[in-house]
Structure 1
Amino acid sequence: MRFTHENLRQRVVFAPGSSPEATVAEVHSLGADRVMLIASKREAPQADPIAAKLPVVLRHEEVVMHVPTDVATRAIAAAAHSDADAVVTVGGGSTTGLGKAVARATGLPIVAVPTTYAGSEATDVWGLTDGATKTTGTDETVLPRSIVYDAALLTSLPADTAVASGLNALAHCIDSMWGPRVDPIDRVLAAEGIRALAAGLNVVCGGPAGSPPDSLDGIEQTLYGAYLGAVAFASAGSGLHHKICHVLGGMFTLPHAQTHAVVLPHVLALNGPHAPQAAARIAAALDCADAGTGLAALYATVGAPTALRDYGMPEAGIAAAIPAVLAAVPASNPAPITDDVIAALLRAAWEGAPA
């Protein structure tokens, strides 16, 4: 073996039923006493008990999908005006993403309290959208210093949101198998993430007999898998799947998690035959002889979204997106990529055709 693997420095706290106390402890460890708390109005029921125990000097509620630059600019200005010395985010990927925008501009440390399976809290990846273009990058400054995972915060997550968010986490795992910087450690983390996500989602979204959808055990397995997938992804780098989804999300303002869930089977069908060892790992993690078959079975069990047109992508967007996708394809992608290959993949994902 010849490779270099770098771990991101971060505290990870699993605190079932005690996120307020755990968050206070993490903020205290930073030496912070003026907190900017970012949480949308929709996340108020989860954020309120946490906010009640923190020295909050600013509560910021303007959270928008894909973090538009004007929204980020207002949040950055608000943070500066409040003289906050730390940021606490309570919410999904959009909330964490806004916190990262603030951290990138101000250097403030983040304590992230996720309420979905987005995984952004475990990466140093930031993203901003200006018009129809989404730009992403990496910066150690945006990596939250601490994550507080509390399964109790996700018991009220709507089923369709849980499905899409969990499959978005699965996309981190699968894309990591052939990311541009992938190494053997990334593949181990990704495989265990796939196993845990499949097990957790089958409980949370599939509901085997005797397992309620709000099962804390199922949620914790899914959170654990989402964290592993995000760590693998942060190390391996963004592969074809994420490049496609970032283009589509920025161009057509598509919902992030649902877009990832729809596109994933098509990227696996494209890359799997050209990366047999990775495909075998994915299959084994899904407890199936074939990766595509295993993923299809999971999608059927949880009722996964299947068509981009259901989320507002216009048919004309297929041709419009091809140049931007081609410009973003990693040189190391296992399958050869051409205009026709991307056109066929986007057409199938738009229509909801089987992968």
Structure 2
Amino acid sequence: MSDILRTFVYNQHPARVTFGRGSIARVGEEADKLGLKRVIVLSTPPQAAAAEQVSKQLADRRTHTFSGAVMHTPVEVTEAALTLVREHRADGLVAFGGGSTIGLSRALALRTDLPQIAIPTTYAGSEMTPILGEAAAGRKVTLRSPKVLPEVVIYDVDLTMSLPPSLSATSGINAIAHAVEALYAEDRNPVVDHLALDAIAAMSGALPRISADSLDQGARTEALYGAWLCGMCLGSVGMALHHKLCHALGGAFDLPHAETHTVILPHALAYNASAVPDVIARLKTVLAADNPSHALFELAGRVGAPRSLEALGMPIEGIEKATNLVLSSPYANPRQPERDSIRRLLHRAYSGLPPVSD
């Protein structure tokens, strides 16, 4: 019997999930199940028109839209949305969009305990987690609370068909990062291991097909399925070095969320490789590669995703600051974070060099 089967804890989070093409048509029915009468529909500015269409599907209710969601869930944006929620005495939230919008909805739910319907249009996966990251004063802080979990998640493949291949790539690799890190999380368990491996296989297989043909419905379906599983992984176990690095970089330098995860993932995996040989062995099989960290680096290149922090706008002098942030409050990790090694990791990630096992 393997050690992981001897003793473990598995947390299953409640959520109603509806998956399939055209499932957004059920948003009114789902709102009825929750008894919602006064709904705030949330989106980012570019998706304001689409959010208005969602409002029309809730026409028998009093609806208002807030289209100011932005990356990293800044507290000041949450406070602006909260004013609207209180002004209209909203009894529910509908989040239409990617991680930025769903993050705003979750931040509002934390403060109000209002029920949420999440309608993801990317592969972020955060809708399946009790984790909220908020930016304030140049730092991104994360917390866990069951209050931020949406009551309903609607996965409509049709809503992802227009997601540009470039955004599909970074969103998808961001999702893969959740599953990869779940395999060596401090509180890993066999249930999440199976979910993670299935998720990585689905997403890594779908992304090159989407890059070649963004209208490939089969690939889009597999990617959205993989994103769902990746989110479940992130929501069920803790985070480690990869997420700590990304949170430090995103909060300190306002780097784009999914792109930062895409750049960091191969390097974080390579850093931990010597400490988790069993995970590396399983990833070799799933990714059909002798070196999983290199395979993920090459996947990013194959689908046209950025592979350097420099390309994301990070200043090279920020490496020392990021190193200090990681070491000041590290997450549990299978290999102890070491200053020189973390600095070297960040230098390679900054320059877009392939990952190495330090």
2:113 is the counterpart of 1:107: yes
CA drift of 1:204 comes to: 1.0
AA aligned opposite 1:15: G
Unaligned runs of 5+ in 2: 1-5
CA distance in 2 between counterparts of 1:22 and 1:73 reads 30
AA aligned opposite 2:74: P
AA aligned opposite 1:13: T
2:28 is the counterpart of 1:27: no
22, 34, 43: which one pairs with 1:17? 22
Residue 3 of structure 2 corresponds to: none
27, 42, 54: which one pairs with 2:46? 42
AA aligned opposite 1:12: V
CA distance in 2 between counterparts of 1:91 and 1:190 reads 24
**What are the superposed Cα offsets for residues 19-58 of structure 1, whole Å, 9 maximum, x if unpaired?**
1x22112111101111110012311343333221112422
Q: How does 1:190-201 map to 2 (within 5 A)?
A: 190-201=196-207
Q: How does 1:225-240 map to 2 (within 5 A)?
A: 225-240=226-241
Q: Secondary structure at the match of 2:142?
A: strand
Residue 307 of structure 1 corresponds to: 308
Residue 319 of structure 2 corresponds to: 318
**What are the superposed Cα offsets for residues 178-206 of structure 1, whole Å, 9 maximum, x if unpaired?**
1122111111111111001012112112x
Moved more, 293-302 or 84-93: 293-302
Residue 343 of structure 1 corresponds to: 343
AA aligned opposite 1:281: R
2:246 is the counterpart of 1:245: yes
Unaligned runs of 5+ in 1: none
Identity rate, percent: 37
Residue 334 of structure 1 corresponds to: 334
2:12 is the counterpart of 1:7: yes
2:100 is the counterpart of 1:94: yes
The answer as to whether partners of 2:267 and 2:293 remain within 8 angstroms in 1 is: no
Q: Secondary structure at the match of 1:193?
A: helix
- Aligned-residue CA RMSD (Å): 1.3
State the number of aligned residues.
348
2:55 is the counterpart of 1:51: yes
2:88 is the counterpart of 1:82: yes
**What are the superposed Cα offsets for residues 205-251 of structure 1, whole Å, 9 maximum, x if unpaired?**
2x2xxxx3122221111111111111111111111100110010000
CA distance in 2 between counterparts of 1:113 and 1:290 reads 36
Moved more, 172-181 or 260-269: 172-181
Residue 292 of structure 2 corresponds to: 291
The answer as to whether partners of 1:179 and 1:233 remain within 8 angstroms in 2 is: no
CA drift of 1:97 comes to: 0.3
CA distance in 2 between counterparts of 1:247 and 1:236 reads 20
Cα 1:46–1:220 shift into 2, 3 Å: farther
Q: Secondary structure at the match of 1:52?
A: helix
